[in-house]
Amino acid sequence: MSIGVNVPRKDGQSKVNGQAAYVDDLSFDGMLYGVTLRSQIPHGKIRAIQFDPKFDWSSVVVVDHSDIPGQNIVTLIQRDQPFLAAQLIRHVNEPILLIAATSRKKAMEARTRIEIIVDELPSVTNLEKAATGVRLYGEDNLFKEIHIEKGDLPRGFAEADYIVERTYKTGLQEQMYIEPQGVIAVPGKDRISIYGSLQCPHYVVKALLPLLSFSHPDQVQVIQMVTGGGFGGKEEYPNLLAGHAALLAMKSECPVKMVYDRAEDILATTKRHPSIIRHKTGLKSDGTLTALAIEIDFDGGAYATLSEVVLSRGCIHAAGPYRCENIDIVGRAWATNNPPNGAFRGFGAPQTCFALERQIDLVAKTLGIDPLEVRRRNAMEPGDSTATGQVLTESVATHKCLEQAVKASDYIRKRSEYSKLLPKARIRRGIGLSLFFHGSGFTGDGENRIRGRAGLQVTPDGFIEILTSSTDIGQGTETIFAQMVAEELGIPVDLCRNAGVDTNRVPDSGPTVASRTCMIVGDLVRSAAAQLREDLIKWLAELENCNAEQITLVGGCFLLSGQRVASFQDLAKRACSEGGPASASKTYVQPEGLEWDEKTYQGQAYPVFSWGCDVAEVEIDLDTYEISVTRFTAAQDVGKAIHPVMVMGQIEGGSLQAIGYATMEEVLQKNGWIENHRMTNCLIPTALDAPAFETHIIEEPFSGGPFGAKGVGELPTDGGAPAVAAAIDHATGQRFDEIPVTPEKIELALNP
Amino acid sequence: MMRLPKFRYLGAKSLKEALQALGSVGPEGRAVAGGTDLLPNMKRRQQQPKLLVGLRQVPELQSLSGESGGSLGLGACLTLSEIAGNAALQDDYAALSLAARAVATPALRNMGTLGGNLCLDTRCNYYCQDQEWREALGYCMKKDGSICWVAPSSPRCWAVSSCDTAPAAIALGARVRLASASGRREIDLSDLYLDDGIRYLSLEPGELVEGILLPPAQGWVSTYRKIRRRGSIDFPILSVAAALKLDGGVVEKARIVFGAVGSRPKQAKEAAAFLGGERLTAESIEEAARLAAKAARPLDNTDGGLSWRKRIAQATVVRALEEILRG
Ligand SMILES: Cc1cc2nc3c(=O)[nH]c(=O)nc-3n(C[C@H](O)[C@H](O)[C@H](O)COP(=O)(O)OP(=O)(O)OC[C@H]3O[C@@H](n4cnc5c(N)ncnc54)[C@H](O)[C@@H]3O)c2cc1C
């Protein structure tokens, strides 16, 4: 048994003993260090670039847009972002020039000797003015507009006894992975190798081919180094950084390392989209939701990056896990002159989930009933349909999660007990909850467009190597894949290992995003293992001159009519050396009946959803306005926990990110500048800010997932913020519709 | 990437060696203890000494010893972890013990020393920035510039004293021992601090903090409260040290000291005087806190919104005194 067991992490030992090699641990002979010269204005034209004549420019390599052999476009969804600004600057800290030298110090010194002369243009750095300000993108500054309609909205409002309206706001959030972005580019003849800290190696391949004017994917080799966290921040940004290092490497004909320091990483890389979300809800006096009208605005920043898909996921999750027949969701991602925003764990859903859950609390308040009651009455069940008209058929755990979290946290008793404390105590307690869901895998037919592949290879020493491009960025991919293969073959986990991620060697199993790795790629890995078992049994049957049905693989041994004939490892070795079945591979096949209309946003948005309920407890000091999240109970359904400890780690870590989002994480932006670009002022929670976690894993299996598993990666970042905000409301008697809720905001609310 | 500028290093083996080196090198020299403040500052080019004199191996600075009349001497190079972990200090000088424990993080407390903490550079939003940031702004008067961005018409610098141990030790009535190549002197710790963000210490050139001397603890009860954003790492947004000498519920003598509200630890003398002779009750605490808060007039130049920082001073004093009342 390898599934549901807390086997040692594959990456654990090397990370603890310091042997794990991150990109900055790697160096090559003759390697240069690259730095980036960036813009200092939010919008403008480059008039001239002046190089100090007193500096010895022959001692460094400088690259500008004219050195680009191919296209100056970062290939992603739209074709709007250049690798290096040529004439137009569209945000502060946009890359303009690249410099490489034999030391970082030298490269930085050269950078101070270059002056960019600019003509500033009017800029828009405020989401609320994105529509009315300067024209930045297309006709209307919209990267994307999405409309989801269900039922008949006017009828829904006509049927309502009450209509409640409110606007909600969320701010920027920085991923703050522990290891900043970094790559090394090693040039070869008509090829380049990239070693990097990244999530999506094949994205980098696709981005570099047109940049370098290469035609064959093998010309770009991308190798993932041990990666110190990503949280989405290393989904698309490494395309740009790898491109930069590659340009310097091609021009200098030397390996080039580019590793950001923390300040540059915070200033230049993508963050979670700030949002303004307006809700108008119709409800009956018994709490039934009759109409949900939701309007969502995201600040995409200066380039489209992934904004449209972030918006898409945000919109699809905007009406939440609630039954409602009349829904209208309008989402817009706007172009501004802020640095581009992009992927961050949750991918649009934490924003829309925050707004919706706060709105549901408002519904409860309007009716004078407990927020729990509203959720109990409206939570989806099998047979209900989502905003996109997707009818839920299996693996629906709303009520299970809700009741488990409520019971485990003693919500009902505490809710009334803390309310009674209200008038006198100076330190007040509050408790609040949230109910949420998160779709596993790519949206709609996205998986079918990717057609991920995974493979297994038997090694000469009889081990199984797992070949995928799914990166382990700390979340445990390597370990769970090994567990799945071990389970399917009935062999010890120790016999299974990962091949490492090298695009020249492993198949493209798609990017490591979208809560898809365990469920989608995991199932490819599992079915490849099933294939290999079958092939080995057939081969053994031939060798033994018997019927394949007579052979079983149990406990690491092949049995012929119950008698041991070979150990798995021995037969695997033989297969490898004697031309037997020594490999297997699988390609994603879309399940029958999946229907999705990208234009109308109707149909099956995700193969399945994971569900969760969070209950947060806080203490607020009414004299010092300090906020402390004291306890956090999460009940989250992941289908099947392949490795329960790591699932709990995902839930607790994601929850803590959500708690930070709700209470302290604030990226301050003014005129397109990020003002707090250091870890001393761009805060994330410390261990001492983590509440006591009580985590309950709910397992409502999904028939389409390996061993019943669904995704858990993003789900935990969705529900924490609204639960904490609800608890703060409960403690203070004030409503907070904007996060982060800081002591300053509480002070202001309590002393109007 | 921030790198240290070039400097020479001398690991002094005795106090005499350290003092002689610092005395002869002049303003180019600087003592370094744990380096947890000085080295990051050097990376940001806020300080650029040519010679660093390491104090960590100077035996005279490591002592922790009872002295005549029940006083306690603490050497400047005791680490904050050593101070926080000392059981006798926890019992008798709770404010200092709590303050030491509230500094930064475990790793920084293992390196950071009492002397370094007492001499911690003052902090300000316009100063605690990397060089590029300060250069873009045109620098400030504390380093390389001529203006104070907090109060542009101000002739002085308003950078803030943010060390945790000084308010606590001052509340406990500490004296500080200073040594230089030409001799030793002992002054009240509160007199070590000047109300100026640039020249915030009254140390003479070449002078070192050798240690502090805490008066007998008999009858005194003390505490330290620190407001900060997170449970760890962060400097104080405001702190309050309170020490009371109690005689059967009546305050014989009191000291209340604020940290992080000005360029030096601020004593709330009016409040302390008021408490003298008062019975400690909810009412006297409220009044003392009201008087104390008058001494806390922060400017908008550190972390934390100004309105919030202003409003919490009184309540934090109440909390500190209530804690003492509860015992
Ligand atoms: C992330 C971070 C968080 C921090 N948080 C806090 C905090 O919450 N509270 C807080 O108070 N501090 C904090 N600090 C600052 C610092 O770590 C502590 O103040 C520490 O106690 C400094 O001691 P040190 O021995 O490392 O000093 P050093 O860096 O060695 O020296 C600091 C200054 O004191 C001088 N000096 C040192 N010893 C002597 C001596 N014996 N005589 C005369 N001058 C001397 C040095 O020349 C230098 O100017 C923080 C630092 C960091 C990096």
For residues A348 and A437, membership in a common domain is answered with: yes
Q: A537 and A465, same structural domain? A: yes
Ligand 1 closest atom vs CA B228: 8
Which pLDDT score, from 0 to 100, does residue B2 have?
A: 78
Edge-to-edge strands of the sheet including A557-560?
A551-554, A557-560, A563-567
Q: Are residues A102 and A44 in the same domain?
A: yes
Interface test with A, best of B1, B3, B149, B312 (most A CBs within 10 A): B1
pLDDT for B68 equals 81
Please report the pLDDT score of residue A423 as a whole number. Answer: 64
What's the farthest any 2 CA atoms get from each other in chain A? 87
**What atom of ligand 1 comes closest to residue B77's alpha carbon?**
41
CB B245 within 8 A of CB B253: yes
At B3 the pLDDT is 86
Cβ contact B213:B67 at 8 Å: yes
Q: Is the CB of B160 under 6 A from ligand 1?
A: no
Is A372 within a domain? yes
What type of residue sits at position B235?
A: F
CA distances from B135 to A218, B126, B127, B129, B140 (A): 46, 11, 11, 10, 9
- Determine the Cα–Cα distance for residues A440 and B12; give it in Å rounded to an integer: 62
- The answer, yes or no, to whether any atom of ligand 1 lies below 6 A from the CB of B51, is no
> A654-705, pLDDT tens digit by residue?
999 999 999 999 999 999 999 999 999 999 999 999 999 999 999 999 999 9
Q: Between chains, do A686 and B232 touch, taking CB under 8 Å as contact?
A: yes
How far away is chain B from the Cα of A727, in angstroms, using its nearest Cα?
A: 19
- Per CB-CB distance under 8 Å, the chain A contacts of B136 are 40
Residue B303's pLDDT band, with cuts at 50, 70 and 90, is confident
DSSP 8-class letter at A408:
H
Same domain, A522 and A555: yes
- The verdict on A351 and A370 lying in the same domain is yes
Q: Give the pLDDT confidence score for residue A421 in this predicted structure.
A: 67
Tell me, yes or no, if A744 comes closer than 8 A to chain B by beta carbon. yes
pLDDT of residue B1 exceeding 90: no
Does the beta carbon of A687 lie under 8 angstroms from any beta carbon of chain B?
Answer: yes
State whether A245 and A306 are in the same domain: no
Does B230 reach chain A within 8 Å, measured CB to CB?
yes
Give yes or no for A656 touching B (CB within 8 A). Answer: no
Q: Residue B307 and residue A748: Cβ atoms within 8 Å?
A: yes
Determine whether the shortest distance from the Cβ of B250 to ligand 1 is under 6 A: no
Low-confidence ranges of chain A (pLDDT < 70): 421-423
CB B244 within 8 A of CB B324: yes
From the list A586, A587, A477, A452, the residue with the least C-alpha distance to A532 is A586
Question: Do A606 and A495 touch, CB atoms closer than 8 A?
Answer: no
- Structural domain includes residue A61: yes
**Which of the four pLDDT bands, split at 50, 70 and 90, describes residue B192?**
very high
Q: Of B258, B262, B100, B241, which Cα lies nearest the Cα of B194? A: B262
Tell me how far CA of residue B138 lies from CA of A20, B115, B125, B126, B135, in angstroms: 43, 32, 14, 10, 5
**Looking at residue A28, which CATH number applies to its domain?**
3.90.1170.50
State how far the alpha carbon of A82 is from the alpha carbons of A99, A125, A129, A247, A273, in Å: 17, 20, 25, 13, 21
- Comparing CB atoms, the residue among B1, B231, B319 nearest residue A104 is B1
Query: Chain A window 574-633: which residues touch B at a Cβ cutoff of 8 Å?
Result: 623-626
Mutate to test the interface with A, among B44, B101, B130, B230 (most CBs of A within 10 A): B230
Flag whether residue B308 sits within 8 Å of chain A, measured between CB atoms. Answer: yes
Strands of the sheet containing B29-32, edge to edge, are B8-11, B51-54, B29-32
Statement: residue B306 has pLDDT above 70 = yes
For residue B230, give the nearest of A108, A624, A685 by CB distance. Answer: A685
Q: In chain B, what residues touch A263 (CB-CB under 8 Å)?
A: 130
Residue A31 to chain B, least CA–CA distance (Å): 18
pLDDT tens digits, residue range B120-140? 999 999 999 988 889 888 999
The continuous run of DSSP H or E covering B132 comes out as: helix B131-137
Residue range of the domain that includes A532: 446-587
User: Does residue B246 line the site of ligand 1, with CB under 6 A?
Assistant: no
Residue A148 lies in a domain: no
Query: Of B128, B227, B230, which is closest to A688 when you measure between CB atoms?
Result: B230
Regarding whether A603 and A581 lie in a shared domain, the answer is no
Q: Which residues does A738 contact at the CB level (< 8 Å), separation at least 6?
A: A168, A169, A170, A171, A745
Shared domain for A725 and A656, answered yes or no, is yes
Domain count within chain A: 3
Across the interface, whether the CB atoms of A624 and B227 are under 8 A apart is answered: yes
Query: Cα A135–A141–A144 angle (5° rounding)?
Result: 165
CA distances A178 to A175, A262, A607, Å, are 9, 9, 32
Q: What angle do CA A280, A282, A286 make, to 5 degrees?
A: 140
For residues A684 and A611, state if they share a domain.
yes
The residue among A227, A259, A291 that closes a domain is A259
Q: How far is B308 from chain A (nearest CA, A)?
A: 6
Domain boundary among A259, A287, A305: A259
Which pLDDT belongs to residue A420?
86
Pocket test for ligand 1, best of B52, B117, B225 (most atoms within 8 A of CB): B117
Which CATH number belongs to the domain containing residue A634 in this structure?
3.30.365.10
> Do A196 and A83 fall into the same domain?
yes
Can you give the pLDDT at residue A425?
A: 81
Provide, as residue numbers in chain A, all residues whose Cβ is less than 8 Å from the Cβ of B229: 664, 683, 743
Q: Is B70 on the interface with A (CB under 8 A)?
A: no
The chain A residue lying nearest B132, using CA atoms, is A112
* A137 found inside a domain: no
Residue A190 lies in a domain: yes
Q: Is residue A694 assigned to a domain?
A: yes
Q: State the average pLDDT for chain B.
A: 95
Distance CA(A316)–CA(B200), nearest Å, equals: 58
Identify from A33, A624, A744 which residue to disrupt to test chain B contact, counting B C-beta atoms within 10 A and taking the largest count. A624
In a domain, A366, yes or no: yes
Residue A128 lies in a domain: no
Q: Cβ–Cβ of A683/B315 closer than 8 Å?
A: no
Tokens of A466: 């797992």
Q: Is B130 in CB contact (< 8 Å) with chain A? A: yes
- A453 and A432: one domain? no
Alpha carbon of A614 to ligand 1 centroid (Å)? 41
pLDDT value at residue A8? 97
CA B103–ligand 1 middle distance (angstroms): 10
- Out of A566, A587, A608, a domain closes at A587
- Kindly report, residue by residue over B45-61, the tens digit of the pLDDT: 999 999 999 999 999 99
Nearest C-alpha in A relative to B315:
A623
Q: Are residues A627 and A540 in the same domain?
A: no
